[in-house]
Amino acid sequence: MLTCPACTHPLYPHLARPTDDGWTHARCPCQVTGCERLAIARGYCKRHYKRAAKGATPEEMTMLTDAHIEDLEWMAANGERFEIAAARLHPPMKATTLDRALRRVGRLDLLAAFQRRGVAA
Ligand SMILES: [Zn+2]
Ligand SMILES: [Zn+2]
């Protein structure tokens, strides 16, 4: 697959523009995993640029993806602790961010699969 040299994300024809170095995005997507907004500054969308400026880490900003959920289901089934599972995701998420994200998408069942094993409050 063709990737954008500026942000290394996949490059689809309708988003591409020609430059001296080949094709790049007309506007690159936000570098935060799972964020679908376009970048406005330093590779971040407006919201993540503000959060990064306030000192938010990549672990705190990473958004839940389908790949995360698949990995979490596997790790819950294998008895992994919630905090450890959050840190082992690709890219990793902060446990509190992950907890909030799972509640937002209604995956209380997945959260419970971990919490039965005793998560620090
Ligand atoms: Zn790009
Ligand atoms: Zn973003």
Tell me: the pLDDT tens digits for 65-93?
999 999 999 999 999 999 999 999 999 99
pLDDT of residue 72: 97
Ligand 1 centroid–CA 28 distance in Å is: 4
pLDDT of residue 116: 65
Averaged pLDDT of the chain: 90
Ligand 1 centroid–CA 26 distance in Å is: 8
Q: Closest-lying ligand to the alpha carbon of 35?
A: 2
Both tokens assigned to 17: 């523009």
> Considering the entire predicted model, what is its pTM?
0.77
Ligand 2 centroid–CA 26 distance in Å is: 17
pLDDT of residue 121: 47
Of the listed ranges 4-18, 49-63, 65-79, 85-99, the least confidently predicted one is 4-18
Ligand 2 centroid–CA 88 distance in Å is: 22
Mean pLDDT in residue range 101-118: 87
Domains of the chain by residue range: 13-54, 64-116
Q: Closest-lying ligand to the alpha carbon of 38?
A: 2
Residue 89 CB coordination number (10 Å): 20
Ligand 2 centroid–CA 49 distance in Å is: 7
- Smallest Cα–Cα separation from 107: which of 60, 58, 72? 72
Q: Closest-lying ligand to the alpha carbon of 19?
A: 1
Cis peptide preceding 91, ω within 30 of 0: yes
The one-character DSSP state at 56 is -
